Amino acid sequence: MNMPYIKKFLVVEIDAPNLNSKYILIPNDWAILKAESEKIIVIAYPKEEECRILERIRLGEPFNPEWPRYMNVKKHYESENFEHARRRLQSLRSGNMITLGKKIQKTKQTERRSLKPRFISRKLTEQRDSSTPEMEAPDNSGTARQRSKIRELFGTESESSTPPPTPTLGNPTPHDADNDCMSENEDGQSRSDVDDDNSMTDDQPNYEDTVAKANDLLAQLEQGLNSGLTACDKLVLQKVMSEQNQISNNLKNITLILRQLCMKQIENKSLMKDIVMKYSPNADIKKKIEGDDDAVEKTSQATKEDTETAYDDKEDSEFEPDESENYENSGHEEVDSKWTLKHPNPRKGLIELPGESGIYIDAQTFAKSHVEAHNVNKLAWLLFQGVFKKEALETCTLIGRDRNNGNRKPLHAGARKAVISYARRYGKNVGWEEIPLASVEKSMRNAMYKIKNY
């Protein structure tokens, strides 16, 4: 699976005299041709003010073919965040200025160190030369008087004592030696102080070094943050891709279910159309439903059903006797129950129940009953509601007597038999469970009891 396009911002180095800085910021859209190494072959970059160019980059404008092209561009940094790339550009530019400042500062410090010892040695030499004439011109007359007084006071001892040596230019006195040692000590101490000052000056960090170190630390921190953000972006992208795959699978399953439902609906519509066209008296072409073999089978099946009906009616005679036993002896005729039919006569939009029964039902109701039914009892009851009137189903009984309320009028016997016979025959053809005639009539009776208005 192809990864989605990710926009990046590049900080590149370019050698172009017409640009203000050799470091510039571009989106990866402006890098026209790229190589596998860190060098970018060709980029497009407009000749405008930098603020305007940064605004173009931030708004995501594509490159213009009329912009000038630059070659041999080296990539230094890339990021998916515009602000990160802009800060890196500023750090690179400020790093160049700091490097130049450090070079100038080092040159000045070297010159200062080379000049300090010469100046100090010259100063000490001048001080020593200025103190030498006083020590080289002693008062000889004063020394002779002191010697004579010592001889008068001490006599021989004073004479035997050795006179102090006369200071000359070649032999300095001990006092002068002490002074020389002290001056040398002072000179050494001053030199050491100067060296300490120089060392302290050298060890003390300057502003440019501090800024450079801070920029390096910021660059390292930014690089670490970028790597962490890249890892987080990868995790988020993987999670989004997994969720997208899951949603895609769910949509595929929903599409499959909808397709199955549509196919089932199409099958139901085709079934309704076939049923309506097959049994509608208004069809242009009337197909032959049953052949000679089917007629023989129909005759045997009808005989069998009549036998089962007679047997079941006989078993149920203790609370619901047959219509012939209750109404023919009472003077009722078959025409009396025709009022229970919803459509006693044929007209447009009606179809006749199969088998030339003379019973009519609405074509749409007939087709809808076949779609909604799932067994023989359900199909028979839906056809009952389409064949008989609602008030007939509420007030009449199935075969003519109610054991609690005395005699009641029955439903039309021919219609009842035609509906039940057709429902059982259709269920057998489509593979439904075969239900005995008595069970079907009992189911119709229970359904009628539920809607009666007592």
One DSSP character per residue, 176-236 reads HHHHHHHHHHHHHHHHHHHHHHHHHHHHS--HHHHHHHHHHHHHHHHHHHHHHHHHHHHHH
Q: Residue range 44-55: average pLDDT?
A: 82
Q: What is the pLDDT of residue 402?
A: 55
Domain end point (choices 63, 80, 97): 80
Examine the pLDDT at 188 and tell me if it is beyond 60: no
User: What pLDDT sits at residue 384?
Assistant: 92
Q: How many domains does the chain have?
A: 2
Q: What is the pLDDT of residue 387?
A: 92
For residue 284, the SS3 value is coil
pLDDT score, position 271: 67
Cα–chain-centroid distance for residue 281? 62
Residue 235 CB burial class (10 angstroms; 0-12, 13-18, ≥19): exposed
Residue that wins the pLDDT comparison between 289 and 56: 56
Question: Over 60: is that where the pLDDT of 163 sits?
Answer: no
Rounded distance, CA 120 to CA 250, Å?
90
Residue 132 falls inside a structural domain: no
3-state secondary structure at position 81: coil
Helix (H) / strand (E) containing 15: none
Average pLDDT over residues 6-21: 77
**Predicted local distance difference test score (pLDDT) of residue 354:** 80
Residue at 159 is within a domain: no
Higher-pLDDT residue of 144 and 44 is: 44
Contact criterion met (CB below 8 Å) for 219 and 91: yes
Percent of the chain with pLDDT over 70: 54
Supply the pTM of this predicted model. Answer: 0.33
Q: What is the pLDDT of residue 398?
A: 86
The token duo for 407 is 């005699």
Residue 443 has pLDDT above 60, yes or no: yes
Between 163-172, 308-317, 357-366, 443-452, the lowest mean confidence (pLDDT) is in 308-317
At residue 377, does pLDDT exceed 90? Answer: yes
Q: Given a cut of 80, is residue 417 above it in pLDDT? A: yes
In a domain, 231, yes or no: no
Which residue among 61, 80, 99 closes a domain? 80
8 A C-beta contact, residue 88 and residue 34:
no
Task: With respect to residue 362, please indicate whether it lies within any of the assigned structural domains.
Answer: yes
Residue 42's DSSP bridge partners are: 33, 71
Do the domain assignments include residue 120?
no
Q: What is the pLDDT of residue 335?
A: 46
CA distances, 345 to each of 332, 349, 351, 361, 362 (Å): 21, 12, 11, 10, 12
User: Band of the pLDDT at 68, cuts 50, 70, 90?
Assistant: confident
Is position 189 within any domain?
Answer: no
Q: Determine, yes or no, domain membership for 177.
A: no
Query: Regarding beta strands 23-27 and 9-13, do their DSSP bridges make them parallel or antiparallel, or are they unpaired?
Result: antiparallel
Q: In this structure, are residues 319 and 406 in contact, taking their beta carbons and an 8 Å threshold?
A: no
Say if residue 450's pLDDT is above 60: yes
Q: Which of 271, 281, 398 is nearest to 343 (CA)?
A: 281
Mean pLDDT value of segment 352-377:
86
Mean pLDDT comparison of 195-204, 283-292, 344-353, highest-scoring range: 344-353
Task: Please report whether residue 86 resides in a domain.
Answer: no
Backbone angles phi, psi at 23, to 5 degrees: -105, 125
Among 27, 46, 80, the domain-final residue is 80
Radius of gyration for the alpha carbons in the chain, expressed in angstroms and rounded: 62
For 393-411, write each residue's pLDDT tens digit: 888 888 876 556 556 788 8
HSE at residue 274, side-chain half, CA atoms within 13 A, is 9
Q: What integer pLDDT is reported at residue 380 of this predicted model?
A: 92
Indicate the length of the chain as a whole number: 454
Judge whether 366 and 276 are in contact, CB under 8 Å: yes
- What pLDDT score was predicted for residue 436? 92
Flag whether pLDDT at 314 surpasses 50: no
Using DSSP bridges, classify how beta strands 39-44 and 401-402 pair: parallel, antiparallel or unpaired.
unpaired
Q: Mean pLDDT over residues 126-150, rounded?
A: 57
- Going by C-alpha positions, the residue among 374, 400, 368 that lies closest to residue 386 is 368
Who has greater pLDDT, 99 or 46? 46
Cβ neighbors of 119 (< 8 A, separation 6 or more) are none
| CA atoms of 341 and 411, how far apart (whole Å) | 8
What is the pLDDT, as a whole number, of residue 54?
A: 84
pLDDT at 386 (0 to 100): 92
In this prediction, residues 111-135 reach a mean pLDDT of: 54
Q: 237 or 151: which carries more pLDDT confidence?
A: 237
Instruction: Quote the CA–CA distance of 117 and 110 in Å, as a whole number.
Output: 12
* pLDDT score recorded for residue 88: 87
Q: Which two tokens stand for residue 13?
A: 């180095």
Give the chain's mean pLDDT: 70
Highest mean pLDDT out of 26-35, 272-281, 366-375: 366-375
Question: Domain range for residue 28?
Answer: 9-80
pLDDT score, position 285: 38
In SS3 terms, 336-385 reads as: HHHHHECCCCCCCCEEECCCCCCCEEEHHHHHHHHHHCCCHHHHHHHHHH
Between 116 and 417, the higher pLDDT residue: 417
Q: 397 has which bridge partners?
A: 410
